[in-house]
Amino acid sequence: MDAIVAALALQQDHCFSKSPVREFVLRAGHGVEGDAHAGVKVKHRSRVAKDASAPNLRQVHLIAQELLDELRAAGFAVAPGSLGENVTTRGLALIDLPQGSRLRLGDAAVIEITGLRNPCKQLDQFQKGLMAATLDRDAEGSLVRKAGVMGVVLAGGIVRAGDAICLELPPEPHRPLEPV
């Protein structure tokens, strides 16, 4: 299956969930135009409290539609945007990508993956048990964070639901994603 943009969402205010939209504009070095988390410096409240001058490595949040499907099958009421993501993908194993992977969305936009979203207690405030449902263990017992990935915008452009996603892997050696 080819990778596609399954859905898009943004929110001007700092809220947990984002509102679905059919298209939005990505701005290089900034993020999703009109989204509360866009900007050169950190915008997530917990990170602003620690160091408001830190670079924003979380300009865009991406989640796989396959995770939303898994969560719905487990009884959670989730839809694109409800977990705070801007881009819902289909056909791409986001959490398995190496750091520095680049995703071309549509004709011009490029997002570089900076790391994993670290699931937090806000997930349980949204729906009880959701945080545990977005965590797992691999065969070696290491923690697997399934709540999506974060990225920065390298090249801007209009992104629409249904757009193709082209993956460009970074040069080897590949580094696994870590929480950002």
Mean pLDDT of 82-93: 98
Mean pLDDT of 44-54: 87
Q: Tell me what pLDDT residue 48 has.
A: 86
Mean pLDDT of 27-32: 98
Band (pLDDT 50/70/90 cuts) for residue 47 is confident
Mean pLDDT of 31-48: 92
Q: Which amino acid is at 82?
A: S
Share of the chain above pLDDT 70, in %: 99
For the chain, domains (ranges, CATH) are: 4-168 (2.40.33.20)
Mean pLDDT of 139-160: 97
Cα separations (Å) of 169 from 21, 56, 81, 134, 159? 28, 22, 26, 25, 21
Band (pLDDT 50/70/90 cuts) for residue 44 is confident
pTM here is: 0.96
Output the 3-class SS for 33-90. CCCCCCCCECCCHHHHHHHCCCECCCCEEEEEHHHHHHHHHCCCCCCCCCCCCCEEEE
Model pLDDT for residues 95-145, shown as the tens digit of each residue? 999 999 999 999 999 999 999 998 888 999 999 999 999 999 999 999 999
pLDDT of residue 1 exceeding 70: no
pLDDT of residue 176 exceeding 70: yes
Mean pLDDT of 145-169: 98
Which residues, at least 6 apart from 58, have a Cβ–Cβ distance to it below 8 Å?
37, 42, 43, 44, 47, 114, 117, 150, 180
The Cβ of residue 10 has, within 10 Å, a number of other Cβ atoms equal to 22
Mean pLDDT of 73-97: 98
Phi/psi at 131 (nearest 5 deg)?
-60, -45
